[in-house]
Amino acid sequence: MINDRPTELRVDLNAILNNYNKLTALNNKKTGIAIVKADSYGLGARAIANHLYKNGVRHFATATLEEALELKDVIFDSMVLVLGVTNPQNVKYAVENNVSLTCPSKVWLEKCLEEMETIKGKLKIHVKIETGMGRIGTSDKEELVKIDKLLSSEKIDFEGIFSHYSNADGSDNNYDDYQTKNFDERLKLFTHKPKYIHIGNSASTVKYSDRQDQYNMTRLGISLYGCYPSENIEKLDKIKLEPVVSLVSKITHVKKFLKGEKLGYGVSYEAKQDEYIATVPIGYADGILRRAQGFKIKVGTEDCEIVGRVCMDQLMVRCSENIKVGDDVLIFGENNGQKISVDDFATFQDTISYEIFCCINKRVPRVYYKK
Protein backbone atom coordinates (compact mmCIF):
# COMPACT_ATOMS: atom_id res chain seq x y z
CA MET A 1 0.00 0.00 0.00
CA ILE A 2 1.41 3.37 -0.98
CA ASN A 3 1.51 6.36 1.31
CA ASP A 4 1.36 9.53 -0.73
CA ARG A 5 1.44 11.87 2.27
CA PRO A 6 4.54 12.59 4.36
CA THR A 7 2.51 12.61 7.59
CA GLU A 8 3.27 9.90 10.16
CA LEU A 9 3.04 9.08 13.85
CA ARG A 10 6.35 7.80 15.17
CA VAL A 11 6.37 5.51 18.21
CA ASP A 12 9.54 4.61 20.11
CA LEU A 13 9.02 1.05 21.35
CA ASN A 14 12.11 1.02 23.55
CA ALA A 15 10.98 4.21 25.29
CA ILE A 16 7.72 2.44 26.20
CA LEU A 17 9.66 -0.52 27.60
CA ASN A 18 11.98 1.79 29.51
CA ASN A 19 9.03 3.63 31.03
CA TYR A 20 7.49 0.32 32.08
CA ASN A 21 10.70 -0.75 33.80
CA LYS A 22 11.18 2.63 35.49
CA LEU A 23 7.61 2.67 36.81
CA THR A 24 7.70 -0.87 38.22
CA ALA A 25 11.09 -0.23 39.82
CA LEU A 26 9.79 2.99 41.36
CA ASN A 27 6.73 1.23 42.78
CA ASN A 28 8.51 -1.33 44.96
CA LYS A 29 8.69 -3.74 42.02
CA LYS A 30 4.97 -4.41 42.14
CA THR A 31 3.62 -6.25 39.12
CA GLY A 32 2.79 -3.71 36.44
CA ILE A 33 -0.19 -4.13 34.14
CA ALA A 34 0.54 -2.58 30.75
CA ILE A 35 -2.66 -0.84 29.68
CA VAL A 36 -3.08 -1.42 25.94
CA LYS A 37 -6.78 -0.58 25.70
CA ALA A 38 -8.16 1.48 22.82
CA ASP A 39 -5.33 0.22 20.59
CA SER A 40 -2.78 1.43 23.15
CA TYR A 41 -4.38 4.88 23.22
CA GLY A 42 -4.32 4.87 19.43
CA LEU A 43 -0.61 4.13 19.15
CA GLY A 44 -0.92 0.52 18.00
CA ALA A 45 -1.56 -2.21 20.56
CA ARG A 46 -0.23 -5.17 18.55
CA ALA A 47 3.20 -3.69 17.96
CA ILE A 48 3.48 -2.34 21.49
CA ALA A 49 2.19 -5.44 23.29
CA ASN A 50 4.40 -7.66 21.16
CA HIS A 51 7.51 -5.63 22.00
CA LEU A 52 6.69 -5.61 25.72
CA TYR A 53 5.99 -9.35 25.69
CA LYS A 54 9.28 -10.14 23.96
CA ASN A 55 11.00 -8.19 26.73
CA GLY A 56 9.38 -10.04 29.62
CA VAL A 57 6.10 -8.23 30.32
CA ARG A 58 3.35 -10.72 31.14
CA HIS A 59 0.41 -8.63 32.37
CA PHE A 60 -1.82 -6.54 30.12
CA ALA A 61 -5.27 -4.94 30.18
CA THR A 62 -7.77 -3.96 27.50
CA ALA A 63 -11.15 -2.25 27.56
CA THR A 64 -13.11 -4.97 25.74
CA LEU A 65 -13.01 -8.70 25.11
CA GLU A 66 -12.61 -8.03 21.39
CA GLU A 67 -9.44 -6.05 22.08
CA ALA A 68 -8.08 -8.86 24.23
CA LEU A 69 -8.74 -11.55 21.62
CA GLU A 70 -7.02 -9.47 18.93
CA LEU A 71 -3.82 -9.53 21.00
CA LYS A 72 -3.68 -13.11 22.27
CA ASP A 73 -1.71 -14.34 19.26
CA VAL A 74 1.15 -11.94 20.08
CA ILE A 75 1.17 -12.10 23.88
CA PHE A 76 0.18 -15.75 24.24
CA ASP A 77 0.37 -16.92 27.87
CA SER A 78 0.09 -13.45 29.42
CA MET A 79 -2.63 -12.36 31.79
CA VAL A 80 -4.98 -10.12 29.81
CA LEU A 81 -7.64 -8.40 31.89
CA VAL A 82 -10.73 -6.87 30.29
CA LEU A 83 -11.46 -3.73 32.31
CA GLY A 84 -14.95 -3.12 30.92
CA VAL A 85 -18.16 -5.15 31.22
CA THR A 86 -18.28 -8.25 29.00
CA ASN A 87 -21.55 -9.77 27.81
CA PRO A 88 -21.97 -13.00 29.85
CA GLN A 89 -23.00 -14.80 26.66
CA ASN A 90 -19.41 -14.42 25.44
CA VAL A 91 -17.59 -15.89 28.44
CA LYS A 92 -16.69 -19.01 26.46
CA TYR A 93 -14.31 -16.92 24.36
CA ALA A 94 -12.63 -15.67 27.50
CA VAL A 95 -12.22 -19.21 28.85
CA GLU A 96 -10.95 -20.59 25.54
CA ASN A 97 -8.37 -17.82 25.20
CA ASN A 98 -7.28 -17.48 28.84
CA VAL A 99 -8.67 -13.94 29.19
CA SER A 100 -9.58 -12.52 32.60
CA LEU A 101 -12.87 -10.65 32.97
CA THR A 102 -14.07 -7.91 35.30
CA CYS A 103 -16.98 -8.83 37.55
CA PRO A 104 -19.08 -5.68 38.09
CA SER A 105 -22.02 -7.18 40.00
CA LYS A 106 -23.65 -10.25 41.51
CA VAL A 107 -26.20 -10.44 38.69
CA TRP A 108 -23.43 -10.46 36.09
CA LEU A 109 -21.58 -13.25 37.88
CA GLU A 110 -24.75 -15.33 38.18
CA LYS A 111 -25.34 -15.05 34.44
CA CYS A 112 -21.74 -16.06 33.77
CA LEU A 113 -22.13 -19.13 35.99
CA GLU A 114 -25.19 -20.14 34.00
CA GLU A 115 -23.16 -19.95 30.81
CA MET A 116 -20.28 -21.86 32.41
CA GLU A 117 -22.49 -24.92 33.05
CA THR A 118 -21.82 -26.09 29.49
CA ILE A 119 -18.24 -24.78 29.15
CA LYS A 120 -15.11 -26.72 30.03
CA GLY A 121 -12.51 -24.93 32.09
CA LYS A 122 -12.60 -22.03 34.55
CA LEU A 123 -13.44 -18.37 34.10
CA LYS A 124 -10.81 -15.99 35.49
CA ILE A 125 -12.37 -13.13 37.42
CA HIS A 126 -11.24 -9.79 38.85
CA VAL A 127 -13.98 -8.35 41.07
CA LYS A 128 -14.44 -4.59 40.62
CA ILE A 129 -15.18 -2.72 43.86
CA GLU A 130 -16.77 0.71 43.49
CA THR A 131 -15.04 3.10 45.88
CA GLY A 132 -15.86 6.52 44.45
CA MET A 133 -15.26 6.54 40.70
CA GLY A 134 -18.88 5.83 39.82
CA ARG A 135 -18.44 3.80 36.65
CA ILE A 136 -18.79 0.05 37.21
CA GLY A 137 -18.54 -2.28 40.18
CA THR A 138 -20.44 -2.41 43.43
CA SER A 139 -19.83 -0.89 46.86
CA ASP A 140 -22.76 -2.64 48.53
CA LYS A 141 -21.34 -4.86 51.28
CA GLU A 142 -24.21 -7.34 51.23
CA GLU A 143 -23.81 -7.80 47.49
CA LEU A 144 -20.06 -8.28 47.85
CA VAL A 145 -20.60 -11.02 50.47
CA LYS A 146 -22.91 -12.79 48.01
CA ILE A 147 -20.33 -12.39 45.25
CA ASP A 148 -17.73 -13.91 47.56
CA LYS A 149 -19.89 -17.01 48.00
CA LEU A 150 -20.41 -17.36 44.25
CA LEU A 151 -16.66 -17.17 43.69
CA SER A 152 -16.27 -20.51 45.49
CA SER A 153 -17.72 -22.23 42.43
CA GLU A 154 -15.38 -24.76 40.80
CA LYS A 155 -16.04 -22.96 37.52
CA ILE A 156 -14.45 -19.72 38.74
CA ASP A 157 -10.79 -18.79 39.17
CA PHE A 158 -10.88 -15.80 41.53
CA GLU A 159 -7.73 -14.16 40.19
CA GLY A 160 -8.01 -10.55 41.30
CA ILE A 161 -9.87 -7.73 42.97
CA PHE A 162 -9.52 -4.05 42.19
CA SER A 163 -10.81 -0.51 42.22
CA HIS A 164 -9.78 2.76 40.55
CA TYR A 165 -8.63 6.12 41.93
CA SER A 166 -10.51 9.00 40.36
CA ASN A 167 -8.45 11.92 41.68
CA ALA A 168 -4.93 10.56 42.19
CA ASP A 169 -3.61 13.16 39.75
CA GLY A 170 -4.92 15.92 42.03
CA SER A 171 -2.95 18.12 44.37
CA ASP A 172 -4.04 16.46 47.63
CA ASN A 173 -4.64 12.95 48.95
CA ASN A 174 -8.06 13.44 50.55
CA TYR A 175 -10.24 11.64 48.02
CA ASP A 176 -7.56 8.98 47.45
CA ASP A 177 -7.57 8.24 51.19
CA TYR A 178 -11.37 8.05 51.13
CA GLN A 179 -11.28 5.53 48.30
CA THR A 180 -8.47 3.53 49.88
CA LYS A 181 -10.46 3.25 53.11
CA ASN A 182 -13.53 2.05 51.19
CA PHE A 183 -11.40 -0.47 49.32
CA ASP A 184 -9.75 -1.85 52.46
CA GLU A 185 -13.08 -2.21 54.26
CA ARG A 186 -14.53 -4.23 51.40
CA LEU A 187 -11.47 -6.39 50.93
CA LYS A 188 -12.10 -7.76 54.42
CA LEU A 189 -15.44 -9.17 53.27
CA PHE A 190 -13.79 -11.79 51.07
CA THR A 191 -13.00 -15.11 52.69
CA HIS A 192 -10.18 -15.83 50.24
CA LYS A 193 -7.77 -13.24 48.91
CA PRO A 194 -6.98 -13.51 45.20
CA LYS A 195 -3.54 -13.52 43.59
CA TYR A 196 -3.77 -9.89 42.50
CA ILE A 197 -5.02 -6.83 44.40
CA HIS A 198 -4.84 -3.49 42.62
CA ILE A 199 -6.20 0.04 42.81
CA GLY A 200 -3.26 2.01 41.42
CA ASN A 201 -3.14 3.87 38.12
CA SER A 202 -0.40 5.94 36.48
CA ALA A 203 -0.88 8.84 38.89
CA SER A 204 -0.89 6.82 42.10
CA THR A 205 1.97 4.63 40.89
CA VAL A 206 4.17 7.71 41.03
CA LYS A 207 2.41 9.59 43.84
CA TYR A 208 2.45 6.71 46.33
CA SER A 209 5.64 4.98 45.24
CA ASP A 210 6.95 5.00 48.81
CA ARG A 211 3.95 3.22 50.32
CA GLN A 212 4.29 -0.35 51.52
CA ASP A 213 0.84 -1.91 51.57
CA GLN A 214 -0.95 -5.11 50.78
CA TYR A 215 -1.58 -4.27 47.14
CA ASN A 216 0.72 -6.16 44.81
CA MET A 217 -0.18 -4.86 41.36
CA THR A 218 -0.50 -1.47 39.65
CA ARG A 219 -1.91 -0.39 36.30
CA LEU A 220 0.29 1.62 33.95
CA GLY A 221 -1.56 3.68 31.36
CA ILE A 222 -0.61 7.11 30.04
CA SER A 223 2.72 7.04 31.91
CA LEU A 224 3.72 4.03 29.83
CA TYR A 225 3.46 6.26 26.78
CA GLY A 226 5.70 8.99 28.16
CA CYS A 227 3.16 11.42 29.59
CA TYR A 228 2.48 12.43 33.17
CA PRO A 229 -1.17 12.18 34.24
CA SER A 230 -1.04 15.82 35.37
CA GLU A 231 1.35 18.64 36.24
CA ASN A 232 0.88 17.70 39.91
CA ILE A 233 2.43 14.30 39.27
CA GLU A 234 5.25 15.67 37.13
CA LYS A 235 6.14 18.24 39.80
CA LEU A 236 6.74 15.45 42.32
CA ASP A 237 9.95 14.85 40.35
CA LYS A 238 10.04 11.17 41.26
CA ILE A 239 10.56 9.79 37.77
CA LYS A 240 11.79 10.98 34.38
CA LEU A 241 9.54 9.47 31.75
CA GLU A 242 10.91 9.04 28.26
CA PRO A 243 8.94 10.65 25.40
CA VAL A 244 7.38 8.06 23.12
CA VAL A 245 5.33 9.70 20.38
CA SER A 246 6.03 12.23 17.63
CA LEU A 247 3.60 13.49 14.99
CA VAL A 248 5.48 14.74 11.95
CA SER A 249 4.86 15.84 8.38
CA LYS A 250 6.34 18.01 5.62
CA ILE A 251 5.33 21.18 3.83
CA THR A 252 3.52 20.49 0.55
CA HIS A 253 2.85 24.06 -0.66
CA VAL A 254 4.03 27.62 0.03
CA LYS A 255 2.37 30.80 -1.21
CA LYS A 256 2.87 34.52 -0.64
CA PHE A 257 -0.20 36.38 0.65
CA LEU A 258 -0.61 40.12 0.31
CA LYS A 259 -1.81 42.29 3.16
CA GLY A 260 -5.59 42.03 3.44
CA GLU A 261 -5.95 38.71 1.60
CA LYS A 262 -8.06 36.13 3.37
CA LEU A 263 -7.85 32.36 3.63
CA GLY A 264 -9.56 29.31 5.05
CA TYR A 265 -13.14 28.26 5.64
CA GLY A 266 -15.25 31.14 6.88
CA VAL A 267 -12.41 33.45 5.76
CA SER A 268 -11.31 33.25 9.37
CA TYR A 269 -7.83 34.65 8.74
CA GLU A 270 -6.68 37.85 7.07
CA ALA A 271 -3.04 38.67 6.31
CA LYS A 272 -1.98 41.57 8.49
CA GLN A 273 0.90 42.32 6.14
CA ASP A 274 2.56 40.68 3.16
CA GLU A 275 3.40 37.21 4.46
CA TYR A 276 3.95 33.58 3.53
CA ILE A 277 1.52 30.74 4.14
CA ALA A 278 2.57 27.07 4.04
CA THR A 279 0.31 24.03 3.83
CA VAL A 280 0.72 20.86 5.92
CA PRO A 281 -1.07 17.65 4.81
CA ILE A 282 -2.91 16.83 8.03
CA GLY A 283 -6.33 17.88 9.25
CA TYR A 284 -9.25 17.06 11.47
CA ALA A 285 -9.89 13.76 9.67
CA ASP A 286 -6.46 12.80 10.96
CA GLY A 287 -7.18 13.96 14.50
CA ILE A 288 -5.97 17.58 14.46
CA LEU A 289 -9.15 19.23 15.62
CA ARG A 290 -10.23 22.71 14.62
CA ARG A 291 -9.56 24.03 18.10
CA ALA A 292 -5.83 23.67 17.34
CA GLN A 293 -6.08 26.87 15.32
CA GLY A 294 -3.60 29.37 16.73
CA PHE A 295 -1.14 26.80 18.10
CA LYS A 296 2.47 27.15 16.96
CA ILE A 297 4.12 24.10 15.41
CA LYS A 298 7.69 23.70 14.19
CA VAL A 299 8.53 24.06 10.50
CA GLY A 300 12.23 23.46 10.27
CA THR A 301 13.44 25.53 13.21
CA GLU A 302 10.66 28.13 12.94
CA ASP A 303 7.66 28.46 15.25
CA CYS A 304 4.73 28.74 12.84
CA GLU A 305 1.19 29.53 13.93
CA ILE A 306 -1.72 27.52 12.55
CA VAL A 307 -3.86 30.11 10.77
CA GLY A 308 -7.37 29.79 9.40
CA ARG A 309 -9.56 26.87 10.35
CA VAL A 310 -8.05 23.42 10.30
CA CYS A 311 -9.46 21.64 7.24
CA MET A 312 -10.40 17.98 6.95
CA ASP A 313 -7.13 16.95 5.32
CA GLN A 314 -4.82 19.98 5.52
CA LEU A 315 -3.93 22.97 7.63
CA MET A 316 -2.08 26.22 6.98
CA VAL A 317 0.63 28.00 8.93
CA ARG A 318 2.11 31.48 8.74
CA CYS A 319 5.84 31.27 8.05
CA SER A 320 8.81 33.19 6.71
CA GLU A 321 9.95 33.34 3.10
CA ASN A 322 12.69 30.84 4.02
CA ILE A 323 10.24 27.93 4.29
CA LYS A 324 10.18 25.64 1.26
CA VAL A 325 8.18 22.66 0.02
CA GLY A 326 9.56 19.53 1.67
CA ASP A 327 10.63 21.19 4.92
CA ASP A 328 10.06 19.10 8.06
CA VAL A 329 7.03 19.80 10.24
CA LEU A 330 6.73 18.81 13.91
CA ILE A 331 3.26 18.98 15.46
CA PHE A 332 4.26 17.39 18.77
CA GLY A 333 7.06 15.19 20.04
CA GLU A 334 10.66 15.37 18.83
CA ASN A 335 12.24 15.63 15.39
CA ASN A 336 15.71 16.73 14.26
CA GLY A 337 16.49 18.36 17.58
CA GLN A 338 13.17 20.22 17.74
CA LYS A 339 10.66 19.53 20.54
CA ILE A 340 7.02 20.30 21.22
CA SER A 341 5.36 18.81 24.29
CA VAL A 342 2.17 16.90 23.60
CA ASP A 343 0.97 18.26 26.94
CA ASP A 344 1.42 21.82 25.64
CA PHE A 345 -0.47 20.87 22.50
CA ALA A 346 -3.24 19.38 24.64
CA THR A 347 -3.40 22.26 27.12
CA PHE A 348 -3.79 24.76 24.28
CA GLN A 349 -6.92 22.85 23.25
CA ASP A 350 -8.24 22.52 26.81
CA THR A 351 -7.80 18.75 26.82
CA ILE A 352 -5.32 16.05 27.89
CA SER A 353 -2.64 14.00 26.17
CA TYR A 354 -4.84 10.88 26.35
CA GLU A 355 -7.37 12.46 24.01
CA ILE A 356 -4.71 13.81 21.65
CA PHE A 357 -3.25 10.32 21.16
CA CYS A 358 -6.63 8.61 20.82
CA CYS A 359 -7.83 11.12 18.22
CA ILE A 360 -5.02 10.45 15.73
CA ASN A 361 -6.86 8.63 12.96
CA LYS A 362 -5.70 5.33 11.48
CA ARG A 363 -5.17 7.16 8.19
CA VAL A 364 -1.94 8.44 9.72
CA PRO A 365 0.65 5.62 9.41
CA ARG A 366 2.23 4.41 12.64
CA VAL A 367 5.99 4.06 12.28
CA TYR A 368 7.71 2.00 15.00
CA TYR A 369 11.35 2.29 15.88
CA LYS A 370 13.73 1.48 18.75
CA LYS A 371 15.99 4.35 19.74
Query: Per the annotation, where are the binding residues?
Result: 135, 312
Strand 302-307 to strand 315-319: parallel, antiparallel, or no bridges (unpaired)?
antiparallel
Quick one: 143 exposed, middle or buried, by C-beta within 10 A (0-12, 13-18, 19+)? middle
- Mark the binding-site residues for substrate, compressed into ranges: 135, 312
Residue among 232, 253, 240 at smallest CA distance from 326? 253
Residues with catalytic annotation? 37, 265
Helix H or strand E segment including 71: helix 65-75
* 19, HSE (Cβ side, Cα atoms, 13 Å): 28
What are the CB-based long-range contacts (under 8 Å, 24+) for 233-237?
Answer: 233/169, 233/202, 233/203, 233/206, 233/207, 236/206, 236/207
> Three-state SS string across 186-255, please?
HHCCCCCCCCEEEEECHHHHHHCCCCCCCCCEEEECHHHHCCCCCHHHHHCCCCCCCCCEEEEEECCEEE
For residues 247 and 346, is the Cβ–Cβ distance under 8 A? no
CA dihedral 165, 170, 171, 173 (to 10 degrees): -10
Question: Could you tell me the CA-to-CA distances from 55 to 16, 18, 66 in Å, in that order?
Answer: 11, 10, 24
C-alpha–C-alpha distance, residues 308 and 267, integer Å: 7
**57 neighbors 20 (Cβ within 8 angstroms):** yes
Around Cβ 195, how many Cβ atoms within 10 Å? Answer: 15
